[in-house]
Structure 1
Amino acid sequence: MTDIDIAVVGAGIAGLTTAHRLAREGHRVEVFESEDTAGGRMRSARIDGYTIDRGAETISPYGYPATWEFIEELGLERRGELHRIEHPVGLWQDGRTHPWVGHPKSLLTGAGLSWRGRAQMVRMLVSGRGKGAVDPDRPEESAYGGMTLEQYGEKYGEELVNRCLGPVATAAFGWLPERSAASPMLAVMQGTRGIYRWQTYRDGQDTMARTLAERLKVHVSTPVQRIEREGRGVRLGFGDGTELTARAAVLALPAPQISALHPGMPEEERAFVEASTFTTMIRVGVMLDRPLEPRRSGRRPHLYAFVMAAGEDSLLSGGTAEHNKCPHRVPPGRGLVTLLVSPRRAAEVYDLPDEQVLDRVLDESERFIDGMREAYVGHQVTRWRHGLPEAPPEALALRGAFTRREAQPIEYAGDWLYMRPSSEAAIASSKPAADRVRSWLADD
């Protein structure tokens, strides 16, 4: 006999969707979260009428099937919880922004690309319909193998990588083009058809997490310190010295946190888990007394976000004008800008006090957004040591064997399993995790 059927460790969106899938089948499922609120990297803070996301999130109408499955089941769209983003992303290069990065319109406007660069983009999009297509569920099987994003640029178009794929990957994914494989990034661009018709949650990126947490048994402020296999089941040890047994468990945590928690991990799993590295993420939400955005000419459209072209030496990799992304998240007439510290520079400021991080970020932001210090009324600094999963070629080479292994009583969920730092990848991971747990229990 065990205390419960299934324990899910981690109440981020991967853990919550996994728990929901298993609970709706009648299993006794409980979720354990070390923080005081569910949501993980998809939490939001609410301060003086401002809603500040602690991660980054957008929803594409294409290439996000797992997300839309849950949106429909939970009735989020019917309840008016979604908002269509009207404004484009801009590329900062040579002292100005170029709108429509990654959008089909960039083929006409350029978005910082020359005609040669636009031709490279067309070739990339066309390749997604043939042998160059990347299966988002099996990126390791693509024709690009372990080619990094930088190597992809050398072969298929440096301008495309330096002025589109690379800047988007660095700002949105926290990736360094020389470290991460190209195939997961190409899977995203091919699946979503670029940065096109994206949406967001009206009242914060934690909308789905809050809805799911209300339907599940979630224990917050309950850190799990160890997990081990015990016969056909598992035993969990908690920070207060108590223990719990379960028939199975799912670890829905960033890969770098798993080895210490699960020292008895089978060797056929350990290689992939330890190769699945993460980058550090630092986000600074700056509350403003007026709406501001990156500098632009009067004829150019408003921007909801900007990314830095390769070669722009900056502390920042980009930022988001949240009031242009979704005006419901700020008080009327106010502004909210999120500034992203570059993964190349994050180590410089990670351990500094919040006020010093803010000071450096505000100084840098004045290069791109006029009047930030004058309009400043408050801030929130968010740091994630394990913020965004990379796609190192070493992990990509190990992924196939990891996904084909036999089901075990301790399974895994998270965006790192698909090597794509997105809510879609995290939610998608819940299905194979639930399937594998179900298979294990069926043989019990």
Structure 2
Amino acid sequence: METVTDIDVAVVGGGIAGLTTAYRLSRRGHRVEVFEAADEPGGRMRSSRVDGWTMDTGAETISPYGYPATWELIKELGLEQAGALHRIRHPVGLWRGGRTHPWVGHPRSLLAGAGMTARGRVQLLRMMLASATRSGRVDPDRPEDSGFGTRTLAQYGAEHGRELLDNLLAPVSSAAFGWLPERSSAAPMLAIMQGTHGIYRWQTYRDGQDTMARILAQHVKVHLSRTVTAVERDGRGARLAFADGTGLTARAAVVTLPSPEIPALRPDLEEGEREFLEASTFTTMIRVCVRLDRPLEPRRTAGQPRLYAFVMGPGEDSLLSGGTVEHNKCPARVPYGKGLVTLLISPRRAAEVYDLPDGQVIDRVLDEGERFIDGLRAAYAGHEVVRWRNGLPEAPPAALALRKAFVGRAPGPVEYAGDWIYLRPSSEAAIASSRRAASRVAAWLAR
């Protein structure tokens, strides 16, 4: 006799991975509902709006290269034709020696230097040439199969050039990924660098990084302020329990929360799941958005281009790992004549400020920010402190070693999606994981 269930698929988490998974499955004709604990969808890709300023909860840029799953969805939703994307015209700078050095991660850095000596540029050139060889390539879908094995970024830097690590890999991974070079494997980051050709011709969403989430939420059924407390296998289906004491059955469920939050939700984790989930750690992310009464930017020399972001160079003992100059990144997000910068707390220092009141955090950030942006405190017009305990997935060697078994297991009634499945923090990883989860769920339901 056929088992009666409430819906076909329950998706736990209304971030970009959950919304995209629901969208893909609903397009296949399945009855799908999303359950989100927060009072709005988007997860780590939300934006807030205050008096004409648009502030993102997480950094979000899109490369024209190496983001196939993202661009497929952008085109499917008509975002490109609607003018929802903005081309970022300015480079990233490395803070070193009291000023910024532009073109970090850009092909032009081979000539401009980006804070590196001639030796460092040679190391960069060697890395770029090695990336063009079969042994030096990293498949973003299978980073565990690369020739770099589970080497950390620190180990990779020791082998390929200390200056390359100190002036490029470590600063960019710290600011953009929240990674510590000694904790995360090199292969997932190299996959990003190779796929995107570096920080080159990047784009962003003109009206905030929540653009795609807002549109996807219009295409699927989303329940907000609906906290799921347990997801268990129920015969050939799944059962959800909610914080209000109610429950729901589904033919399948997809859990899209950060990996550290999943074991508490899944008392019956399958063999091979728990090991990978527990090895897939996250770093804490703290972003401080500072509204300004005038446009400011990090110190630079005359004749150098304006920057859209900056990262810390070697030897800079700072509370910050870098920041984004939002009015240069996308002027449409800031009132005319005003400014907006987002300052990122270093992953090495996040624990010391995470639990402080917002007032104390902004005081420390403004004091520290004055080292890099002249007049920051005088131009201050407001702020927003964004905290994510599980903000950015790391790529620990243990997780990389376990990944093949996790992604290769047979489909079941409870599946997963999220950027952590690819061990790299990006919307591309989240969207790619949702496409994979939708295919696995469809295969399970077809049985």
Which TM class, normalised by the smaller chain length? over 0.9
Q: Give the total of aligned pairs.
A: 443
Match of 2:5 in 1: 2
Q: Deviations over 1:348-401 (max 9, x none)?
A: 000000000000000000000001110001000000000000000000000001
Q: Does 1:333 align with 2:329?
A: no
Could you tell me how far 1:286 is from its partner in structure 2? 0.2
Match of 2:31 in 1: 28
Q: Does 1:108 align with 2:91?
A: no
| Structure-2-length-normalised TM-score | 0.99
Q: Does 1:396 align with 2:366?
A: no
Out of 39, 42, 46, which is 1:39 matched to?
A: 42
Match of 1:347 in 2: 351
Kindly, what percent of the aligned residue pairs are identical? 72
Match of 1:62 in 2: 65
* Structure 2: unaligned runs, 5 residues or longer: none
Q: Does 1:385 align with 2:375?
A: no
- Inter-partner Cα distance in structure 1 for 2:257 and 2:122: 40
- Inter-partner Cα distance in structure 2 for 1:370 and 1:360: 15
Q: Map 1:78-89 to 2 at 5 A.
A: 78-89=81-92
Q: Map 1:213-232 to 2 at 5 A.
A: 213-232=217-236
- Inter-partner Cα distance in structure 1 for 2:202 and 2:72: 16
- Inter-partner Cα distance in structure 2 for 1:364 and 1:162: 21
Out of 112, 118, 121, which is 2:121 matched to?
A: 118
Out of 174, 178, 199, which is 1:170 matched to?
A: 174
Could you tell me how far 1:310 is from its partner in structure 2? 2.5
SS in 1 for 2:253: strand
Out of 192, 211, 222, which is 1:188 matched to?
A: 192
Match of 2:273 in 1: 269
* Structure 1: unaligned runs, 5 residues or longer: none
Range with bigger deviation, 179-188 or 260-269: 260-269
Q: Does 1:245 align with 2:274?
A: no
- Inter-partner Cα distance in structure 1 for 2:79 and 2:171: 31
Q: Which amino acid aligns with 1:215?
A: H
SS in 2 for 1:136: coil
- Inter-partner Cα distance in structure 2 for 1:408 and 1:126: 42
- Inter-partner Cα distance in structure 2 for 1:2 and 1:110: 61
Match of 1:13 in 2: 16
Q: Which amino acid aligns with 2:183?
A: R
Q: Map 1:290-369 to 2 at 5 A.
A: 290-369=294-373
- Inter-partner Cα distance in structure 1 for 2:314 and 2:76: 41
- Inter-partner Cα distance in structure 1 for 2:92 and 2:301: 15
Q: Which amino acid aligns with 1:216?
A: V
Q: Which amino acid aligns with 1:397?
A: A
SS in 1 for 2:262: helix
Q: Map 1:83-162 to 2 at 5 A.
A: 83-130=86-133, 131-162=135-166
Q: Which amino acid aligns with 1:200?
A: T
- Inter-partner Cα distance in structure 1 for 2:16 and 2:226: 17
Q: Which amino acid aligns with 1:367?
A: R
Match of 1:413 in 2: 417
- Inter-partner Cα distance in structure 2 for 1:352 and 1:408: 42
SS in 1 for 2:378: helix
- Inter-partner Cα distance in structure 2 for 1:314 and 1:376: 20
Could you tell me how far 1:287 is from its partner in structure 2? 0.2
- Inter-partner Cα distance in structure 2 for 1:227 and 1:428: 23
Match of 1:432 in 2: 436
SS in 2 for 1:272: helix
Could you tell me how far 1:121 is from its partner in structure 2? 1.2
